[in-house]
Amino acid sequence: MKALILAAGQGKRLLPLTEDRPKAMLDVGGNSMIGWQVDALAAKGVDDIVVVTGFRAKVIGETLAALRERHRDCRIRPVFNTFYGVADNLVSCWMARHEMHEPFLLLNGDTLFHGDVLGRLLDSPAAPVTLAVDHKPHYDEDDMKIRLDGRRLVEIGKTLPADRVDGESIGMLLFRGDGPRLFAEALEQCMQATDALRQWYLSVIGALAAAAPVMTRSVNGLGWCEIDYPLDLVRAEQMVAGWRAEGDGMPVSVVAG
């Protein structure tokens, strides 16, 4: 199994913590975010890990070299996104499109999650595209909200009206069967649009959902949190500390996008 990790962004909302290092390199409980991520993927048998880099790519590259030593059975390598400073993460996906010829996981780099979250997605019923989702009583403007028909994705976006929201994406997807090809083709088509540089890759998933089944897998009850602001980092530290105190914290992971 392959995994693509989107780690090109700086994470400006976390300044000054990200002034000289990308968000994916922030420390959470003694391990870098990208380190948590790779550790969790390797623990689940993922043996081919591609990291899309951009801001301070050399810093991530040095950490990836150390992670290769830690996980010698894994192939771990970077793909550089030349446009990281002017484009959103749709372009990061497009830069890794040559890797989308087999089943793969796609992970954002700003979400701390328990290893069981990854396991639940990997154990989901077969579908071309499966999106990991969660549910809560209220959603804010930063949440990537979703509308469902049963388990099937109908709509996704940050601006969905509250009365049409059934959950939120946590920034983790699984592509199998025709999914990798469908996603790569949709990326190519979207990159021809004039506003491609300002698009999130989940807008591509929304477009796919209108034409083919995009299924969801609920991770409700499992621990995770998105890290966008300094307070999120504090909460992430507390979450990891809680898992460790319960003897249930390894491996855990962080996704960066």
The dotted CATH code for 2-255 is: 3.90.550.10
| Coil/strand/helix, residue 107 | strand
Whether the Cβ atoms of residue 221 and residue 75 lie closer than 8 Å to each other? no
257, pLDDT greater than 70: no
**CB under 8 A, 24+ apart: contacts of 61-70:** 63/25, 63/32, 63/34, 63/35, 64/34, 67/34, 67/35, 67/38, 70/38, 70/39
| DSSP category for residue 97 | G
Work out the pLDDT band at 178, boundaries 50, 70, 90: very high
The pLDDT of 199-205, averaged and rounded, is: 86
pLDDT at 66: 93
HSE, side-chain direction, 13 A CA sphere, residue 221:
3
Instruction: Classify each residue of 211-239 as buried b or exposed e, where b means 16 or more C-beta atoms within 10 Å of its C-beta.
Output: eeebbbbbbeebbbbbbbeeebbeebeeb
The pLDDT of 8-26, averaged and rounded, is: 91
| Residue found by looking up tokens 């946590």 in the block | 170
Which is more confident, 205 or 244? 205
pTM confidence score = 0.92
Name the residue type at position 234.
Answer: V
pLDDT tens, residue by residue, 227-246: 999 999 999 999 888 888 87
Which of 26, 95, 39, 100 is closest to 66 using CA atoms?
39
pLDDT at 250: 57
Domain spans of the chain? 2-255
